[in-house]
């Protein structure tokens, strides 16, 4: 997918100064991104948001004083609708699940490459989702153990499978509508049906299920049964 060149204003929140500085430097090399602020924890981030207006926040899940999940809750309670990409380690399962319930749409491992990092930022900024496949299993552990994973997608129509596939590739509803020659309303209805049939509460959990099952790695033509 080709993004329109624009300046994505990023706030970086991480308590490890060396790692945070590396993130700031790498993001600063991207032509369509700029770092407008950095903070060492959630409390510093909330204070920073009084003086800067980022388009998206890159947030460490585990930090002293206030971690990523609490930061997202605090932003929501203050009416700050800031998209978030969560930086996580595999052992942060509880916090990752909390972030998912709060509506966070981007998850990237700290061990991931910088190419994946900037891809996640762009995807979430443009309204899509980005879930590292290794994080997907953590997101699913709280609600999919009871389900027969081999049959779960049989509930979806061919078109719903296509829509879910493109969601898993980071496209937003408008992008999917254009690609499949559908109206925005039709795509929204498909997404609503997908969430209901898969018994998940948001798009991120649906995308996680798609990655864990291998559906996201298939070709969309395979869904035309």
In the chain, count H helices and then E strands.
10, 6
- For residues 113 and 175, the answer to whether their CB atoms sit within 8 Å is no
Q: What is the pLDDT of residue 223?
A: 61
Continuous segment of H or E residues that includes residue 92: none
Phi, psi of 39 (to 5 degrees): -140, 155
DSSP three-state, residue 13: strand
Q: Rounded distance, CA 112 to CA 87, Å?
A: 10
pTM, to two decimals: 0.63
**Which residue ranges form the domains of the chain, and what is each CATH number?**
8-140 (3.40.50.2300), 152-223 (1.10.10.10)
For 63-110, the pLDDT digits (tens) are 888 888 888 888 988 888 899 998 887 655 666 666 776 778 888 888
């Amino acid at each position: 997918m080709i993004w329109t060149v624009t300046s994505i204003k990023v706030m970086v929140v991480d308590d490890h100064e060396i790692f945070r500085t590396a993130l700031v430097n790498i993001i600063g090399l991207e032509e369509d991104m700029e770092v407008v602020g950095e903070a060492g924890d959630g409390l510093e981030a909330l204070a920073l948001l009084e003086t800067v207006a980022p388009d998206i926040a890159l947030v460490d899940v585990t930090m002293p004083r206030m971690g990523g999940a609490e930061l997202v809750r605090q932003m929501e309670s203050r009416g700050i609708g800031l998209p978030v990409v969560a930086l996580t380690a595999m052992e942060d399962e509880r916090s990752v699940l909390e972030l998912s319930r709060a509506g966070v749409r981007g998850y990237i491992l700290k061990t991931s490459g910088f190419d994946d990092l900037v891809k996640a930022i762009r995807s979430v900024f443009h309204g899509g989702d980005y879930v590292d496949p290794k994080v997907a299993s953590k997101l699913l552990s709280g609600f999919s153990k009871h389900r027969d994973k081999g049959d779960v997608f049989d509930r979806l129509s061919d078109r719903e499978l296509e829509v879910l596939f493109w969601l898993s590739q980071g496209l937003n509803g408008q992008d999917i509508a254009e690609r499949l020659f559908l109206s925005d309303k039709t795509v929204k209805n498909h997404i609503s049906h997908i969430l209901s049939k898969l018994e998940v509460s948001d798009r991120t959990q649906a995308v996680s299920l798609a990655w864990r099952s291998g559906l996201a790695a298939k070709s969309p033509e395979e869904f035309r049964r």
